[in-house]
Amino acid sequence: MTDFEPLIIAFACNWCSYAASDVAGTSRSYYPANVRIVRVMCSGMVDPTYILRALAGGADGVLIAGCRPGDCHYISGNTKAEKMVERMKILLHRLGLENERLRLQWISSGEGGLFARTIEEMVDRLKELGPSPLKEGKGKGA
Amino acid sequence: MISEQLLLDITKCSRCGKCTAICPMFEKTKGWDTGVARGKLLVSWGLARGELEINDKLIEALYQCPTCMLCEQECTAGAKVTEIIREARALIVERGASVPFSHRGTFDTVARITLRDGLHRDWLDLIKGDFRENGETVYFPGSLPYLEPVLDFDLGAARIISAAVTIFNRAGIRPAIITQLADSGHDAFWSGQYQFFNALKEKNSRLLAGTKMIVTTCAEDYSILKSEYSLEAGVYHISQFVRDLIREGKLAFSEGAERVTFHDPCRLGRHTGEYDAPREVLKTFVDYREMARYGKDAVCCGVGAWMNCNKYSKQLRLDRVKEAAEAADTLITACSKCLSHFSCLMTEPEKVEDLPEIKIVDFTEFVARNLKDT
Ligand code: SF4
Ligand code: SF4
Ligand code: FES
């Protein structure tokens, strides 16, 4: 499956990770073009349904990126996100999806390199896992 | 499409106002007539005749109703209120509007994922007890394993599923648990998404072909499998299954002094007519008490098919647990959804004023917990 290019949807916190993705861009660090970034105001506003819809809609992986512990601009949004991601990993496993397709990463605003590395790692792992079983044409149904 | 027959039904409504006195939701919203059956019927009429456009108010009118059937059984004109509302919802869906699900539609998406083939669903490790993965006697836990991780509290999926298996085992049966089964489609059906419902039904019917008996622990699943599927197998709610086992002398209980009451899920009671089985079971081993409103008069937990959780349905739920607390120490419900809604209310005692002290326990779990060791 060498020509498989995974699609990643990243929900990135406005105050940190989204800025980091910008840093990665302006400093011209290389990262694969497999990611579509959705800017959110805080990782804590990412709802289970965003993750599921991204996957059901054909994404191979979902990244949730937020401020480091203690740095959330809304105090506890990132701890809320952490708990939610833990529960969603259980759900994905029960539903029959590899839960490594979902990743949580703390990336503060200057860490453009970490952003790029995170995407690279995810792309590598997703290439090993192969296309999401929910992708169009795999299995049938809605 | 709202059939001619149902349209005729709407014209039979004399606007007598009985439903306005009965509807528990209307009692809370204290709003316009669109908040109650007689208004919802007119809205459905207008929609079906092309006289009304779809907008947020119309969607709210047709979806802010748990289709509890309380008004329908008393309607002086005999209007099939819930069926009309459901058909009107189907018109809304047909015309491209999306269903205003609670939890931002997470459970709808989960149900869509269960429709996909080729996923190796993996939750059998939750189960303690002896089961097989195929066979003629099926236990259908429905969406229980998938509800729990989305909800932010312990719903007890592992305990409830294991409890059901324990009951089967006591009766000398190794039930089949088929993880490839899709969501029952209850919510798809009642939200008016008929095409989606039919796809779920078709997939499940294929997987259930050749089975003899299907037992569910959720009243919503029971009502839909029983009324909207055409399965060769007999469909039973766990309360009926347990009642029969007790009558056959296959189960024995340790008696307790606990005061226990039962909440009739709309789907088990008014929708499918089973009021006696859970009571007959509970009365064999507890101090059974009835709430002020019970049986066919029982009030809904406030939410149907994950569609209308809001401040009004929360008040309904609060009223209901208070009513239960007046009668007993433990409230038993026989529906995974009622259990979710009630438990959700109880998880935030600091946010709810005068929340009574009461234990909310699932019927299946309660029964298994009180089985006498033999
Ligand atoms: S009870 Fe029936 S007839 Fe009376 S107003 Fe309500 S829907 Fe109409
Ligand atoms: S079905 Fe229940 S909630 Fe809906 S209008 Fe009738 S009584 Fe009210
Ligand atoms: S503000 Fe960045 S995670 Fe909350």
Residue A35: give its domain's CATH number.
3.40.50.960
β-pair type (B359-362, B330-333): parallel
Query: Residues A60-103: pLDDT tens digits?
Result: 999 999 999 999 999 999 999 999 999 999 999 999 999 999 99
CA distance B5 to chain A (A): 32
pLDDT exceeds cutoff 80 at B134: yes
- For B234, other C-beta atoms within 10 Å of its C-beta total 13
Nearest CA to ligand 1 atom 7: B38
β-pair type (B259-263, B287-288): parallel
Verify that B66 and B143 share a domain, yes or no. Answer: no
Task: Kindly provide the residue ranges of all beta strands, DSSP E only, lying in chain A, ordered along the sequence.
Answer: 8-13, 35-40, 61-66, 102-106
Mean pLDDT of B141-163: 93
Residue B103 at interface with chain A, using a CB cutoff of 8 Å:
yes
Residue B112 at interface with chain A, using a CB cutoff of 8 Å:
yes
pLDDT exceeds cutoff 80 at A141: no
User: What is the reported pLDDT for A2?
Assistant: 61
Looking at beta carbons, which residues of chain A come within 8 Å of B199?
A: 141-142
Question: H-type helices in B36-100, by residue range?
Answer: 37-48, 56-63, 81-94
Say yes or no for a CB contact (<8 Å) between A96 and B112: no
Mean pLDDT of B276-296: 95
Domain end, chosen from B244, B268, B295, is at B244
Alpha carbons A16 and A22: distance in angstroms, whole number: 10
Domain that holds residue A77: 8-128
Ligand 3 midpoint to CA A111 (Å): 15
User: What is the reported pLDDT for A5?
Assistant: 94
Looking at beta carbons, which residues of chain A come within 8 Å of B145?
A: 94
Shortest CA distance from A46: residue in chain B: B104
CATH number at residue B75: 1.10.1060.10
* CA B64 remoteness from chain centre: 16
pLDDT exceeds cutoff 50 at B93: yes
Q: Is residue A114 part of a domain?
A: yes
Q: Is residue A68 part of a domain?
A: yes
Verify that B331 and B278 share a domain, yes or no. Answer: yes
Verify that B307 and B366 share a domain, yes or no. Answer: yes
Q: Is residue A133 part of a domain?
A: no
Verify that B120 and B227 share a domain, yes or no. Answer: yes
Q: Is residue A138 part of a domain?
A: no
Alpha carbons B7 and B18: distance in angstroms, whole number: 20
pLDDT exceeds cutoff 70 at B307: yes
**Among B10, B27, B29, B36, which residue has the most ligand 2 atoms within 8 Å of its CB, making it the best to mutate?**
B36
B15 CB near ligand 1 (under 6 Å): yes
The number of distinct structural domains making up chain B is 3
Q: Is residue A141 part of a domain?
A: no
Look at residues A8, A61, A56 and name the one whose alpha carbon lies nearest to residue A35.
Answer: A8
Query: Residues A21-50: pLDDT tens digits?
Result: 888 888 877 888 899 999 999 999 999 999
pLDDT exceeds cutoff 50 at A139: no
Verify that B87 and B109 share a domain, yes or no. Answer: no
pLDDT exceeds cutoff 50 at B47: yes
Work out the mean pLDDT of chain B and round it to a whole number.
Answer: 93
Q: Which of B6-10, B250-254, B303-307, B316-320 has the lowest mean pLDDT?
A: B303-307
Facing A142 at nearest CB: one of B103, B112, B121: B112
Verify that B155 and B23 share a domain, yes or no. Answer: no
Mean pLDDT of B330-354: 88
pTM over 0.90: yes
Say yes or no for a CB contact (<8 Å) between B121 and A94: yes
**Among B30, B81, B301, which residue has the most ligand 2 atoms within 8 Å of its CB, making it the best to mutate?**
B81
pLDDT exceeds cutoff 70 at A142: no
Looking at beta carbons, which residues of chain A come within 8 Å of B112?
A: 56, 141-142
Q: Is residue A136 part of a domain?
A: no
B19 CB near ligand 1 (under 6 Å): yes
Facing B113 at nearest CB: one of A93, A134, A140: A134
User: What is the reported pLDDT for A140?
Assistant: 43
Ligand 2 midpoint to CA B223 (Å): 18
Identity of the amino acid at B353: E
Ligand 1 midpoint to CA B77 (Å): 6
- Confidence at B97, pLDDT banded by 50, 70, 90: confident
User: Which of A52, A76, A97, A134 is the best mutation test for B, with the most CBs of B within 10 A?
Assistant: A52
Domain end, chosen from B45, B74, B94, is at B94
User: What is the reported pLDDT for A91?
Assistant: 96
**Residues flanking ligand 3, CB < 6 Å:** A 13, 15-16, 42-44, 66-67, 72-74, 77-78
pLDDT exceeds cutoff 50 at A109: yes
> For chain B, first and last CA: distance in Å?
56
Looking at beta carbons, which residues of chain B come within 8 Å of A142?
A: 112, 115, 196, 199
The number of distinct structural domains making up chain A is 1
Verify that B263 and B208 share a domain, yes or no. Answer: no
Query: Residues B181-218: pLDDT tens digits?
Result: 999 999 999 999 999 999 999 999 999 999 999 999 99
User: What is the reported pLDDT for A138?
Assistant: 52
Alpha carbons B194 and B1: distance in angstroms, whole number: 11
Domain that holds residue B315: 251-372
User: What is the reported pLDDT for B347?
Assistant: 87
Verify that B141 and B170 share a domain, yes or no. Answer: yes
Mean pLDDT of B121-149: 94
Mean pLDDT of B70-77: 94
Mean pLDDT of B157-174: 96
* Structural contact between residues B22 and B74, judged by C-beta atoms closer than 8 angstroms: yes
Looking at beta carbons, which residues of chain A come within 8 Å of B118?
A: 133, 138-139
Residue B125 at interface with chain A, using a CB cutoff of 8 Å:
no
Verify that B194 and B221 share a domain, yes or no. Answer: yes
Verify that B258 and B240 share a domain, yes or no. Answer: no
- Confidence at B140, pLDDT banded by 50, 70, 90: very high
Verify that B127 and B88 share a domain, yes or no. Answer: no
Residue B206 at interface with chain A, using a CB cutoff of 8 Å:
no
- Confidence at A19, pLDDT banded by 50, 70, 90: confident
Alpha carbons B241 and B173: distance in angstroms, whole number: 12
Q: Is residue A14 part of a domain?
A: yes
Looking at beta carbons, which residues of chain B come within 8 Å of A48?
A: 103-104, 106, 150
Verify that B255 and B239 share a domain, yes or no. Answer: no
Say yes or no for a CB contact (<8 Å) between A95 and B199: no
